[in-house]
Chain A
Amino acid sequence: MMMKSVLSLCLLLAVAAALIVPAGAQDGSLDKIKRTGVMTIGTRTGSPPFAYINKSNEWVGFSIDLVEQLVKPALEKELGKAIKVEKKESTPPTRIPLLTSNAVDLIAGTMTDTPERRQSVEFSLTFFYTGAQFLVKKGSPIKSINDIGGKRIAAQQGSTNAKIIREKKPDAQLREFPDQPAAFQALAQGQVDAYTNDGIQLWGLKAKAPKPDDWEVVGDFFSEEPYGMAMRKGDLKLKQIVDAGLKNGLESGKYFEIYEKWFGAKGEVPYPMTPQVKAYLLKQIGK
């Protein structure tokens, strides 16, 4: 009897899943945005300066500015009407499900464009380029990925960095936390010896720490992390518009103004753009 009820329950679940998943599949995001006048983006709350809640309690950041100032105008031009951008919290483990369930139309945060992810979502042009490094207490013996054998290393759950450490340094004791504040807390208290994430995020964390001088970002990039905005698989019309917005920004120089605002000498996290990165970004638009 037990077995039978288990079976029927499984069947019920399977039917439910089959009904839920394709819902809205025919309705392109663009039509939905046009109908409702709202584009919902999934972004971060604790990843300065890409997307975070600032001291005056506003949800701001570089990625959000790119959407507001480059993507939104391109979208409005295409649709011929004003639209509103709504923000929802998304974290590495939730961002793809948020997209596939139609809860958000665009992920604009700190998502790395990888070949595996490309099988599930569409990526825009790369809008930022960084690589994994380590954040350590000043004076730590850890200087690069070669020094982490046997050490306790924090990483963000669902991130590409954790994956690389597991493959390259299986003897490191990896501790994965769902968000940046918890990982940093673990580093500050000594639960872990180093925290690995994309270099730029570590610089952001250091800049926001109560005593920035206590912390050091060390090591060469041990991964390549090109950030892109993500959309539902097959949502090509939206992708075209997002790419056009970004391309326009790169061509007109607006992108670099926004970059300067967040990463310039007076920005939230000073992080001058290297010539290689600039060349990488411009190469995407054929320059």
Chain B
Amino acid sequence: MSYQFKWSVLWSGQSATWLLQGVLTTIELSVLAWLLAVVLGILSGALRTVSFAPLRAIAVFYVEFFRNVPLLVWMFFWYFGVPPLLPRAVQDWLFNHGAEFWAAVIALGVYTGARMSEVIRAGILAIPRTQFEASLAMGLTVGQAYRLIILPIALRLIVPPLTNESLNLLKNSSVALTISVAELTFQTRQIETYTAKAIEALTAGTLIYLVLCLGVATVMSRIERRFAIPGLIARVGAG
């Protein structure tokens, strides 16, 4: 009574179209959430290192509040919790225009942003304090010092942990299926529904995630090599 494999279910019928749609949705969702996460991460990561306490407090609150609650809860929060606060007409408009997708982008972006914030803060703290003081001595304002000196160096230091967070984001995007976003995992389940071939569908999904993640990792390692600061990072076994 062993399981009968039938790999053809992956390309017969509508399966291939569904998988493709799923991959595209996963990529769209991940890219948009990543952009949001990077912006929020840089902003709050930088704010955590400034000397003005209220700004630091806001950033600490953001990080601790959003990274310490499960992503699943955030998905429900943005999809079920937020819309009732809006006027009825706005709600209806949103629900007819892909509210679940945007709720997922915000949930994933805001959650990952809180995690990236710590990575960016670590990058900033790795820069000697004197660098910042020297910038001010050159006549730059605090804002200019961050924008022109501190952040560009910090961002070049943190590529490896940023890769980690980006890969996590890509994989975490599968949680969006709980609020009915038809991403890759959703579509593999769809194939399973139609064909009752669960192992084949899951294997296809697994391999696609693997390929996507390896792609991201490859691009990020190129970026890492391209932007490494000579002399600041010892390259062990480079090449």
Q: Is A157 an interface residue (CB 8 A)?
A: yes
Bound complex: CA A232 to CA B1 (Å) = 7
Q: Is B34 an interface residue (CB 8 A)?
A: no
Q: Are B1 and A93 in contact (CB under 8 A)?
A: no
**Residue among A93, A116, A233 facing the most chain B CB atoms (10 A cut-off):** A93
Question: Using an 8 Å CB-CB cutoff, how does the interface string of A200-240 with B read, 1 for contact, 0 for none?
Answer: 00000000000000000000000000000000111110000
Assess A157 versus B199: contact at CB under 8 Å? Given A177-B180, A190-B95: no
Please provide the chain A residues from 149 to 181 with a CB less than 8 Å away from any CB of chain B in the complex: 152, 154, 157-160, 162-163, 173, 175-178
Assess A116 versus B180: contact at CB under 8 Å? Given A97-B202, A157-B189: no
Instruction: Please give, as numbers and ranges, the residues of chain B lying within 8 Å of A178 by CB-CB distance.
Output: 177-178
Q: Number of contacting residues on B, CB 8 A?
A: 40
Q: Which residue of B99, B195, B202 is within 8 Å of A116 (Cβ)? A: B195
Determine the interface band of chain A, counting residues with CB < 8 A from chain B.
35 or more
Instruction: Please give, as numbers and ranges, the residues of chain B lying within 8 Å of A190 by CB-CB distance.
Output: 88, 91-92, 95
Question: Using an 8 Å CB-CB cutoff, how does the interface string of B83-106 with A read, 1 for contact, 0 for none?
Answer: 110001001100110011000000
Q: Are B197 and A120 in contact (CB under 8 A)?
A: yes
Q: Are A9 and B189 in contact (CB under 8 A)?
A: no
Bound complex: CA A234 to CA B4 (Å) = 10
Bound complex: CA A186 to CA B218 (Å) = 40
Q: Are A233 and B96 in contact (CB under 8 A)?
A: no
Q: Is A13 an interface residue (CB 8 A)?
A: yes
Assess A25 versus B178: contact at CB under 8 Å? Given A9-B210, A93-B192, A176-B186: no
Bound complex: CA A160 to CA B193 (Å) = 8
Q: Give how many A-B residue pairs fall within 8 Å (CB-CB).
A: 103
Q: Is A11 an interface residue (CB 8 A)?
A: no
Chain B nearest Cβ from A142, distance in angstroms? 15
Bound complex: CA A160 to CA B223 (Å) = 46
Instruction: Please give, as numbers and ranges, the residues of chain B lying within 8 Å of A2 by CB-CB distance.
Output: 214, 218
Please provide the chain A residues from 107 to 136 with a CB less than 8 Å away from any CB of chain B in the complex: 114, 116-117, 119-121
Q: Are A100 and B210 in contact (CB under 8 A)?
A: no
Q: Is A21 an interface residue (CB 8 A)?
A: yes
Q: Are B96 and A173 in contact (CB under 8 A)?
A: yes
16 contacts between A and B (CB under 8 A): A6-B211, A21-B3, A22-B2, A28-B1, A96-B196, A117-B196, A120-B3, A120-B198, A157-B193, A158-B189, A158-B192, A177-B178, A186-B80, A189-B83, A190-B88, A233-B3
Q: Known A-B contacts: A17-B199, A157-B177. Give 12 more (CB < 8 A).
A: A21-B199, A28-B1, A96-B196, A97-B198, A100-B199, A119-B196, A159-B193, A175-B100, A182-B76, A186-B80, A191-B80, A192-B95
